[in-house]
Amino acid sequence: MTPSSSEGVNALDFREALARWASGVSVVAVRDEQGLAATTVSSFSSLSLEPPLVLLSLSDSSRTLKRVQAAGRFTVSILSAAQQDTAVHCAKGESAQAAFDEAAFVRDCLAGLSCTVLDLRRYGDHLLLVGQVVSILRGEAREPLLYWNRAYRAVTGLPPADPANH
């Protein structure tokens, strides 16, 4: 492995390197006067426990981002391995093909977070979005959907969930 400076890093090399980072898959959605907008994201993480904050990154060309900005709120649905079709549809902008509940959560998701927009910052061709979690939906403990090396994956050999932690 040869180190390089940031001036010597091209987009293809950067993309190839980051394809090796496995991440969970979630759907960010907003329901507004125009209906439902949703997109699939893997760039999602917790930011703070007190207060409860999450961080996600959306392309500045995202239609969902523009609607989230206008509404000042969004939901995050953490997907199970059984929800790969939902991830694919939402990634293509086909949220009508996915099953959402009235609160803009993907049905049967592992967990859902309802958030208000706390901060937006532009970095490169994406915006970092900080959301304050205002409510939580706890789904059933199942295998998570993962994204690694440009493909959806599932964890294999996951032990049964401990009901005490559910």
Q: Mean pLDDT, to the nearest integer, of 28-40?
A: 95
2 found inside a domain: no
**pTM of the entire predicted model:** 0.85
Q: Tens digit of pLDDT for each residue in 71-100?
A: 999 999 999 999 999 999 999 989 888 899
pLDDT of residue 17: 87
From residue 97, give the alpha-carbon distance in Å to each of 37, 40, 88, 132: 12, 13, 10, 28
Residue 146 or 154, more confident: 146
Domain encompassing residue 112: 22-151
158 found inside a domain: no
Q: Tens digit of pLDDT for each residue in 121-137?
A: 999 999 999 999 999 99
CATH number at 143 reads: 2.30.110.10
30 found inside a domain: yes
Is residue 1 pLDDT above 60, yes or no? no
1 found inside a domain: no
122 found inside a domain: yes
Count of structural domains within the chain:
1
45 found inside a domain: yes
Is residue 2 pLDDT above 50, yes or no? no
Helix (H) or strand (E) holding 133: strand 126-138
pLDDT of residue 11: 86
Q: State the chain's mean pLDDT as an integer.
A: 89
Q: Tens digit of pLDDT for each residue in 103-122?
A: 999 999 999 999 999 999 99
8 found inside a domain: no
161 found inside a domain: no
